[in-house]
Amino acid sequence: MRVSSVPRTGNTVRNPVIPGFHPDPSICRAGADYYVACSSFEYFPGVPIFHSRDLVHWTQVGNALDRPSQLRLPPDSPSSGGIYAPTLRHHDGRFWLIVTNVSGDGNLLFTATDPAGPWSDPIRLPGVHGIDPDLAWDDDGNCWCTYAGVGQVRIDPHTGETFGPPRRLWSGAPGAKAPEAPHLYRIGDFWYLLIAEGGTERCHGVSIARSRTPTGPFEPCPDNPILTHRGTDHPIQNTGHADLVQAPDGTWWMVLLGVRPGGGTPGWHVLGRETFLVPVEWADGWPVVGELSSVVPAPPWPLQPHGVVPGLDDFDISELAPCWISLRHRSTEDCTTKERPGWLTLHARGGSLDDADVTFVGRRQQHLSCRVRALADVEEGRGGLTVRLDERHHYDIEASSGEVQVRARIGPLSTVVASRPIPPGPVVLRIEVAAVEAVNDARTGPDTVTIGIEEPDGTYAGLTSLDGRYLSTEVAGGFTGRVIGMFASSGSVHFDWCDYESLDR
């Protein structure tokens, strides 16, 4: 394992603090510990949970939804479906997590005594009709669930029962689309309602209102939106879906999502929506958000570089690290490290990565430039490495006995772009992503994806280089980011190791 920390320069630290496809962050604090939960969409296990002691270095400690009884995603559920926008809270000695499964189960509530798990089976909330649900408790013990729209209903979080009809609260600026991601807080004498508005694309923003009661009426902040990069050339765009947290020293901080478009016009973001950190101050009873940039003022306490990111995974332990995710479900019959000790074995269940129900184990691309390598034994099947955005947008290197092929799927088009014979025995497959450093043409893509193999003597044989724009949200649509990983398309494929390495400067 490689130890990774967020670089620090003087009194600043780098943003994003949780890079890669980690959208819709929700944060809570319990004592000296901070926890963040993010959306996971069609991937299993769902809802990654991160821990930090300093708001800067984050370690993934688990996935909240790691059992079929918690997360049901039908094999035909669409990409960018599944699990949307969790809210994570610590209340009355327990952790509470509320999410929406848009692919069938609606709004669900889970509890745990330890955010690393195990989390409970779901409490269903059939009376909550809206995505992005939030939880807040008043002094009388009432639990208020506020959701996109922006609507609200009182619930019993232990049973899922709702009380009374839902009410509309406040929907942001007049005419602004998609009021969503509400979070309700009691701060001082007021209840504050924080929302996102403008849609999760370039017009995304954060606005806030306040009331003397959790049910309103709400008075909007005169300086709304309190954060947005719409209409600017800022390198961080789509800023929104925020959550607030207070540190033990009384300072306030905000986590939010944003993207880093690259290349020329219109700009393509390929890592998905990432988690950023920004300081918050208060003036005249309203939050004032500090400047959001690729560096952020470091919190005024010692940083604790304890974040561990799996780089080289040799599959020597029986359970996969929490960063590894699969499509819609993962069974021990299809994916195991116990069949051949020290190897990850994948048994094919779908024909190719064009299928929704393919055997796949990958991890989020977290760096604009990176290299991924894997040693594959394909004597019993066919499979390899892929860079995936969804079923209609992926680049693959697929090995079978005696040959490797590079295949590109871009929308309705699918083609083999390169192939070559390989000698018998295991083969090292390699995918390298290189971000562009200068834009000489407005049509320049964000990065280049180079795909090849390593010869038995260790030299690299590149087979092709492909434009990365076609594996971007601006081309493919949806809400996710790239995931790079291993797959089996026929028979059984064994992987001795997989190595992810950042090449960012």
Can 501 be counted among the known catalytic residues? no
Of 134, 180, 398, 432, which is the active-site residue?
Answer: 180
Evaluated on CA atoms 230, 233, 234, 235, the torsion sign reads: positive
Spacing of C-alpha 354 from chain mean position: 22
Token duo for residue 25: 């962050």
Q: Are strands 427-435 and 370-377 parallel, antiparallel or unpaired?
A: antiparallel
Is residue 294 within 8 Å of 236, Cβ to Cβ?
yes
Strand order in the sheet with 94-101: 83-91, 94-101, 106-112, 123-124
Q: Is 316 a catalytic residue?
A: no
DSSP assignment, residue 41? B
Closest by alpha carbon to 241, among 95, 39, 443? 39
What is the dihedral sign for C-alpha 459, 498, 357, 449?
negative
Pair of tokens at residue 283:
């003036």
Q: Which one of the listed residues 24, 105, 391, 432 is annotated catalytic?
A: 24
**3-state class (DSSP) for residue 473:** helix
Helix (H) / strand (E) containing 475: helix 473-476
Other CB atoms within 10 A of residue 175 CB? 7
Which residues, at least 6 apart from 406, have a Cβ–Cβ distance to it below 8 Å? 395, 396, 397, 398, 416, 417, 418, 419, 451, 463, 464
Q: CA 296 to CA 290: how far, in whole Å?
A: 9
Q: Which residues are catalytic?
A: 24, 180
